[in-house]
């Protein structure tokens, strides 16, 4: 059993007899760590006769796995981009669910990469003085060329059309890579979700050998997964600290010993968060009394209250 788990190459070992009479079958099922591939050993006993042994080998034994030495589930054979054999909940065990989840992850990865670029790049360029853009966290509060209702309706129409095309590509593979007006203008030899549309591959990266395509798709999935974590981290960071990731990074580089994640749990930081949450709506003179009565602030920290309000108001 140890050698089977270490190599992740043996799928089943069966002993059978061509002259089985009144034989008994004893089955034992063993699952590897975190719900991986099941290894079933069937032993057939017979009064007499010769026995034959059949061994079914799994996929590439050098395949990278999320945990070295683990055995991947049987439904994750390494053919998908970014497949490292990780599925502890068995979400991909159903073939139809696997197809849907693959496309869902792909589109979420692409949106997350766009979102991460929209968070980090403008904030960094604003920080160093090249741009002067509002914070991504409060972008919805800005005044635009039209009202928010009109923007929302336009977004529904545009995103609805794009999602409708993507759904059609799942139902009829290749349809999204065909020009809806000029059907002869299309991409051939593509898979569902790749490259994502007729005009989404201007550099022709979606053509080439299968090994090259697999490598590029794996890079896309890995960067997309990282981007999803980065966007989620940026949101939680801004909610808790009141500043964006670039501001937090610059503060940490300026004072590595004090500007850390652990300092965010200090009472003074909680004071600043409580003040900055309402300072735009309350005058400075009235703010001190309001925050003293509304925020849970230690007595030794109240001396910093007026300075905190003044600093936040100046920002």
Residues of each annotated binding site for chlorophyll b: 110
Q: Around Cβ 115, how many Cβ atoms within 10 Å? A: 18
DSSP element (H, E) containing 154: helix 148-171
Residue with tokens 């920290």: 301
Annotated binding site: 105, 108, 110, 142, 219-220, 223, 225, 237, 252
Q: CA 167 to CA 146: how far, in whole Å?
A: 30
DSSP codes, 50-97:
--EEEEEE-S-TT---SSTT----TT--S-STT--S--TT-TTSSHHH
Nearest in space to 81 (alpha carbons), one of 182, 221, 244, 257: 221
DSSP 3-state of 191: coil
- Strands across the sheet with 10-16, in order? 24-31, 38-45, 10-16, 52-57
Q: Where are the beta strands (DSSP E) in the chain?
A: 10-16, 24-31, 38-45, 52-57
Annotated binding site for chlorophyll a: 105, 108, 142, 219-220, 223, 225, 237, 252
Close Cβ partners of 254 (under 8 Å, ≥ 6 residues apart): none
Close Cβ partners of 194 (under 8 Å, ≥ 6 residues apart): 206, 213, 217
């Amino acid at each position: 059993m140890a050698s089977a788990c270490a190599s992740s190459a043996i799928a089943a070992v069966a002993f059978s007899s061509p002259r089985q009479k009144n034989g008994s079958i004893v089955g034992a099922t063993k699952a590897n760590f975190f719900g991986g591939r099941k290894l079933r050993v069937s032993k057939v006993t017979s009064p007499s006769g010769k026995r034959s042994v059949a061994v079914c080998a799994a996929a590439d034994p050098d395949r990278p796995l999320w945990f070295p030495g683990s055995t991947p589930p049987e439904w994750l054979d390494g053919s998908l981009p970014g497949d490292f054999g990780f599925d502890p909940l068995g979400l991909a065990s159903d073939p139809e669910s696997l197809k849907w989840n693959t496309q869902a992850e792909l589109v979420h990865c692409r949106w997350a990469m766009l979102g991460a670029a929209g968070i980090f790049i403008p904030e960094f360029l604003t920080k160093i003085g090249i741009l002067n853009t509002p914070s991504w966290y409060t972008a919805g509060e800005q005044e635009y060329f039209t009202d928010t209702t009109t923007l929302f309706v336009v977004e529904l129409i545009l995103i609805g059309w794009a999602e409708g095309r993507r759904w059609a590509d799942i139902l009829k593979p290749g349809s999204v890579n065909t020009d809806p007006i000029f059907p002869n203008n299309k991409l051939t030899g593509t898979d569902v979700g790749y490259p994502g549309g007729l005009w989404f591959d201007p550099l022709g990266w979606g053509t080439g050998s299968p090994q090259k395509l697999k490598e590029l798709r794996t890079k896309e999935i890995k960067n997309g997964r990282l981007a999803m974590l980065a966007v989620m981290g940026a949101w939680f960071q801004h909610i808790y600290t009141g500043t964006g990731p670039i501001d937090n990074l610059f503060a940490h580089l300026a004072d590595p010993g004090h500007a850390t994640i652990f300092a965010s749990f200090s009472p003074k930081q909680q004071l600043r968060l409580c003040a900055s949450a309402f300072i735009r709506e309350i005058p400075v003179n009235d703010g001190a009394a309001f925050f003293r009565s509304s925020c849970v602030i230690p007595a030794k920290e109240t001396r910093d209250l007026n300075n905190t309000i003044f600093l936040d108001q100046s920002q």
